[in-house]
Amino acid sequence: MKQEIIIAGFGGQGVLSMGKILAYSGVMQGLEVTWMPSYGPEMRGGTANVTVILSDRRISSPIVHEFDTAVVLNQQSMDKFEPQVKPGGILIYDPNGITRHPERKDISIYRIGATAHAAKAGNPRVFNMVVLGALIQVSPNVTLENAYKGLAKSLPERVHKTLPANEAAIRTGMELVETAQVVPGLATGEAPANAVIR
């Protein structure tokens, strides 16, 4: 098993921390892991992305040019990373702020309304955990239990009081993710049992 994942959006959306939690979750699961962030000098409001590789064998390089899964949280990232998803791969996106929805027919596509949910819940800080929940539901490379452990490991102890809200947000993302398009026969691209095909 080897999964090469890119998570991309604006600085301030929790992109890098989402990747860090996913990486720690992989460690808790006994996987080989790399975590490689990339961000502009603006940080908040600028573009940011992180590449995470999860594998059951030694990883030769953290540098990736094509991805099994892309999580896209703004239009710039859609334009850049949709073409870099491997045929038969997965793209997950939040439709908020997206002006051009994904167009490829050879990948499985899922929507997660994380921005809308976080706003409705009055807690924008859990946005990235809703997205992480969608990723775990669609591409379950780590278990929910290990995702909780990765979350606890990545957060400083002083903010561990937020763990229950973040764990609840992960579960919400697993429930809210919707299927837009599935490429048949994909082991990691089958529609989640609770997803709505629209």
Q: Is the pTM value of this prediction over 0.75?
A: yes
> Does some domain include residue 194?
no
> Does some domain include residue 105?
yes
pLDDT at 139 over 80: yes
Residue 124 CA: distances (Å) to CA of 85, 86, 128: 28, 31, 9
| DSSP for 165-181, written as a single string | HHHHHHHHHHHH-EEEE
> Does some domain include residue 62?
yes
How many other CB atoms are found less than 10 A from the CB of residue 7?
A: 31
Which tokens in the block code for residue 55?
Answer: 């594998």
Residue 154 CA: distances (Å) to CA of 28, 78, 145, 159: 11, 27, 14, 10
> Does some domain include residue 193?
no
Contact at 8 Å (CB) between 169 and 124?
Answer: no
Domain span at 101: 2-181
> Does some domain include residue 160?
yes
> Does some domain include residue 195?
no
Question: pLDDT for 11-36, tens place per residue?
Answer: 778 899 999 999 999 999 999 999 99
Q: How many residues does the chain have?
A: 198
Mean pLDDT rounded to a whole number for the chain: 88
Say how many domains are in the chain.
1
Q: DSSP 3-state assignment of 63?
A: coil
Question: pLDDT for 39-95, tens place per residue?
Answer: 765 555 567 999 999 999 999 888 889 999 999 999 999 999 999 999 999 999 999
Domain containing residue 105: CATH number: 3.40.920.10
Q: In the 8-state DSSP scheme, what is residue 142?
A: S
Q: DSSP 3-state assignment of 102?
A: coil
H or E stretch at 21: helix 15-28
Which tokens in the block code for residue 179?
Answer: 């299927």
> Does some domain include residue 188?
no
> Does some domain include residue 198?
no
